[in-house]
Amino acid sequence: MSAPAPWDPGSASRRLVFWRHGRTEWNRVGRFQGQQDIALDAGGERQAAHAAQVLRHLQPDAIISSDLGRALNTALALAAHTAPAVVQDKRLRETYAGQWEGKTFAQIAEQDAAMLAAWSAGVGSVRAGGGETRVDVGMRVAEAVNEAVQDVPAGGTLVAVSHGGAIRAGICALLGLPTESWAVISGVSNCHWSVLQESPDRHGRPAWHLTQHNVGLDSLPTGPVEG
Which is catalytic among the residues 45, 94, 101, 192? 94
Which is catalytic among the residues 21, 101, 163, 198? 21
Catalytic (active site) residue 21: yes
Catalytic (active site) residue 94: yes
The angle at the Cα of 25, spanning 136 to 215, to the nearest 5 degrees, equals 60
The angle at the Cα of 209, spanning 207 to 215, to the nearest 5 degrees, equals 150
Q: What burial class does residue 178 get, using C-beta atoms within 10 Å of its C-beta: 0-12 exposed, 13-18 middle, 19+ buried?
A: exposed
What interhelical angle do 42-55 and 69-79 show, nearest 10? 40
The angle at the Cα of 140, spanning 126 to 180, to the nearest 5 degrees, equals 40
Q: Which of 113, 90, 112 is nearest to 35 (CA)?
A: 90
DSSP 202-226: TTS-EEEEEEEEEE--TTS----S-
**Residues with catalytic annotation?**
21, 94
